[in-house]
Structure 1
Amino acid sequence: MRAPPRDGSPLSYYGRAAMERRLPAPLACLLLAACASSEPRPKEPLGQIPEATTTAKPEWLPFRIRAGKSVAADPREKHFAELRQLTFGGENAEAYWSPDGRKLVFQSTRDGNTCDQQYILDLESGEVRRVSNGQGKTTCGYFLFPAPATSAQARVLFASTHAAGEACPPKPDHSQGYVWPLDEFDIYTANADGSELRPLIQGKGYDAEATVAFDGSRLVFTSTRDGDIELYTAKLDGSDVKRITSTPGYDGGAFFSPDATKLVWRASRPTGPALDDYRALLAKGLVRPSALEIFVAGADGQNPRPVTRNGRANFAPYFLPDSRRILFASDFSTPQGARGMPNFDLYLVDSDAPPAADGVPPVERVTFYEGFDSFPMFSPTGEHVVFASNRHGAKPGETNLFVARWVE
């Protein structure tokens, strides 16, 4: 069969074909008349387009945080917009962003666990997947930087006690007041789906609280390997371990600045009887976190200096994108000597601002919930901040994860 001419309609083609095949004259004339009298028709579609279905997500659809649900914000919290609750029930804390800002790694006691395991939350779909092996106790998960383009390909590091063989380490005796245990943690890495779990940093005592510089140059972690609670850095493969603090007292919970030139962490600097008490607890594998200040230094620990000096429990510091301001948690608003659980809020301090009368920069209160707000971390772009809070809990004391768009 001949192909229809490019400039002709289907009818004109088949009309000519009928004449060429010597169709009856009346029929051929009718066909030609129809072609001559009808208006030009669209060239496409030349028939019915079949319907198709696909489960693939269009590449042009922009990423947006859809996990969880919107919740009411406190109007006094002027730095927060579009507040969303991401988890619902149990104990969920220490959530940290993936390199592409699409996922969070966090610790939780969900799924019937008696102590924390590590999970990854997809911020678009809301899917949650466990990444630790379900054994022992875990803490301080973090994504490795730099990583492949997608967070599904990135590796995760976290500390775990599973090598000790215990289902869950015993909780500390609080007859000596509120104390944190220094369990036998080692640091491990795994793929985002939990596969290829392997040790990264091991040793007798406490090795935990590891975080990574954005440029992938070093990681920093907390360890008791030299008899005190100090900060150490290492390469991302766990080699070249260097101790970067040496003053007696607790040093831990360190994070690099976005430009990888600074560190911020929590520290105690006890003296006299307080130092004796610190060392006695340390011998029992315990630390009392009621008097911690926020310190900053160079990325190798050089020139350390405090940016708080209030004698309270200041912890969980994290740099803003400018590598200068720091968001941290503190019970600063709780009156001294108050009974009951302290109130922890988030505060903002400019580490390079001129000092106030107490010798450190002034702080700005960010959250106002009468309960627990802590563990803030900014997304890689600085657009969002995630934190843990008791707010909107179904039960008293329940801790969930929240995310908000940061407003300057």
Structure 2
Amino acid sequence: MRLPLLLALAGLTILAGCQTANTRLAEDTEAAVAAAQADQPITGAPTPADDGPDYVASADSLRFPGEVHLRNVRQLTFGGNNAEAYWSPDGAALIFQSDWDAINPQGCDQQFVMSVAEGAGRDGDGAELVSTGRGRTTCGYFLSDDRIVYASTHPGGDACPVTAASQTGRYVWDIFPSYDIYVADADGRNLEVLIGGEGYDAEATVSPDGRYVIFTSTRSGDLELWRYDTGTGDLLQLTDTLGYDGGAFFSPDGSKIVWRASRPTGADAESYRALLAQDAVQPGALNLFVADADGSNARQVTDLPGANWAPFFHPSGERILFASNHHTLAEGGREFDLFLVGLDGGAPERVTFSGTFDAFPMFSPDGTRLVFASNRRGDRADSRDTNVFVADWVENPTEADRLFGTE
């Protein structure tokens, strides 16, 4: 049992100034006791003020030493693979994809929505299915009017589509040509095709004003970025260089885009083309690029080994938060952490230190919180589960943040 954690929560209960706070903190203490006895991560802990006086470091069991930009890390899902969690415009909900058997008996990734305050819960009761439950889905996102978009293969069949890995015998990413992009109400009703046609259409995200959807498509013969105008239906191709351009997001003011891309040459280019003809790509060297929102003035930001991907703009629009394994390649590259880098490149600043897998970061609309996917656990045990976590973002770490976990 983690006695310092329990004592800290009990102390907060005594100091709480009103009955509502006392009730909430008492419930949190009971949850902490049960979690500690079960040796599981702590969730539902009270959220202290950002200025620090009420912050209890020992209660932040899902935060790791060195994570000076994070506080009050909470776990929202509890099993299986849960990722690509993205905020609703009001910051109250998240859409995410999951194969967690507690909420998804079908087995292929489906789209769910959950409250940020409550999470999915240990039994998954807080997660609402918003996709069809058929085929495979990816990359759900909220439009500015609270409707959702996501890619799905369900018209091609109810079952999970056959993966390229099972056909090629290699570790590859599938580029299902049956993926089209759909739009629906926030509860999944009134589903209709938004972007369709021949080939792969997926990885959709939305500009802050809701006017544009940026996505990856093979409609030109390669994996390129395209922009869809929600008002006119016009399409604009944004990239035109051999390689996998994908995972794009808009800057907070909508004037720029960031994405990750491969740029194979020589024999690697031939291998890339051959696999793409089989509707697959083999992940390898990926780096970050930025451009204006119409694709002009494109330039490479990072020049790092390994896979540098899942980028998202910092609230200032002047930096990028992304996932990378460039620092662990000598040990096999299985550990991914989050890093910050300026738009002009340079040495990135490491943000997470869990020693596991941290990726898919996204800042909340007001820039005060961060959601991400991770294999971390509060008891530091190994886990193959990828879960969704949310944390307060600390823009200007204090000395106490720098000393966290070193006592």
SS at match of 2:352: coil
> How big is each residue's C-alpha offset from its partner over 1:345-365, in whole Å with a ceiling of 9 and x where there is no partner?
10100114xxxxxxx422011
Alpha-carbon separation, structure 2, partners of 1:237 and 1:92: 32
Give 1:392's aligned amino acid.
R
Alpha-carbon separation, structure 2, partners of 1:173 and 1:216: 36
Match of 2:213 among 191, 206, 219: 219
TM-score (norm 1): 0.77
Alpha-carbon separation, structure 2, partners of 1:296 and 1:361: 14
Alpha-carbon separation, structure 1, partners of 2:81 and 2:231: 31
Shift of 1:215: 1.6
SS at match of 2:322: strand
Q: In the alignment, what sits opposite 2:274?
A: 280
- Give the fraction of aligned pairs with identical amino acids, expressed as a percent: 54
Give 1:315's aligned amino acid.
W
Alpha-carbon separation, structure 2, partners of 1:314 and 1:84: 25
What RMSD over aligned residues (CA atoms) do the two structures have, in Å? Answer: 1.9
Give 1:122's aligned amino acid.
S
Question: Which stretch of the first structure deviates more once superposed, 89-98 or 361-370?
Answer: 361-370
> 2:160 matched to 1:157?
no
1:372-383 equivalences under 5 Å are 372-383=357-368
> How big is each residue's C-alpha offset from its partner over 1:66-91, in whole Å with a ceiling of 9 and x where there is no partner?
99534511121000011111111111
Alpha-carbon separation, structure 1, partners of 2:143 and 2:169: 37
Match of 1:179 among 172, 177, 188: 172
CA contact (8 A) 2:248 2:260 kept: yes
Matched residues, number: 327
CA contact (8 A) 1:200 1:237 kept: no
Shift of 1:124: 2.6
> 2:384 matched to 1:397?
yes
Give 2:365's aligned amino acid.
P
Q: In the alignment, what sits opposite 2:258?
A: 264
Give 1:350's aligned amino acid.
G
Alpha-carbon separation, structure 1, partners of 2:272 and 2:305: 15
> 2:137 matched to 1:138?
yes
Alpha-carbon separation, structure 1, partners of 2:107 and 2:221: 29
> 2:107 matched to 1:114?
yes
Alpha-carbon separation, structure 2, partners of 1:395 and 1:139: 26
CA contact (8 A) 2:377 2:383 kept: no
Q: In the alignment, what sits opposite 1:104?
A: 94
Match of 2:116 among 108, 123, 127: 123
SS at match of 1:280: helix
Alpha carbons of 1:255 and 1:366: their partners in 2 closer, same or farther (altered >3 Å)?
Answer: same
SS at match of 1:173: helix
Which runs of 5 or more residues in structure 2 are unaligned? Answer: 1-30, 32-41, 46-59, 120-125, 396-407
Shift of 1:99: 0.3
SS at match of 1:275: helix
Q: In the alignment, what sits opposite 2:82?
A: 92
From the CA coordinates, give the structure whose radius of gyration is larger: 1
> 2:44 matched to 1:69?
yes
1:6-405 equivalences under 5 Å are 68-70=43-45, 71-72=60-61, 73-110=63-100, 111-126=104-119, 127-145=126-144, 147=145, 154-173=146-165, 177-183=170-176, 184-236=178-230, 239-336=233-330, 338-339=331-332, 342-352=334-344, 360-392=345-377, 396-405=383-392
Shift of 1:113: 2.5
> How big is each residue's C-alpha offset from its partner over 1:199-230, in whole Å with a ceiling of 9 and x where there is no partner?
10001111000111102231100000111000
Alpha-carbon separation, structure 1, partners of 2:43 and 2:197: 39
SS at match of 1:189: strand
Give 2:99's aligned amino acid.
T
Shift of 1:168: 0.5
TM-score (norm 2): 0.77
Alpha-carbon separation, structure 2, partners of 1:163 and 1:326: 36
CA contact (8 A) 1:68 1:87 kept: no
Shift of 1:125: 3.7
SS at match of 2:302: coil
SS at match of 2:141: strand
Question: Which stretch of the first structure deviates more once superposed, 375-384 or 193-202?
Answer: 193-202
Higher helix residue share: 2
SS at match of 1:279: helix
Alpha-carbon separation, structure 2, partners of 1:278 and 1:308: 21
Alpha carbons of 1:142 and 1:239: their partners in 2 closer, same or farther (altered >3 Å)?
Answer: same
CA contact (8 A) 1:188 1:198 kept: yes
Give 1:260's aligned amino acid.
G
SS at match of 2:329: coil
SS at match of 1:361: strand
Question: Which stretch of the first structure deviates more once superposed, 168-177 or 214-223?
Answer: 168-177
Which runs of 5 or more residues in structure 1 are unaligned? Answer: 1-65, 148-153, 353-359
Give 2:249's aligned amino acid.
F
Alpha-carbon separation, structure 1, partners of 2:258 and 2:329: 26
Shift of 1:311: 2.8
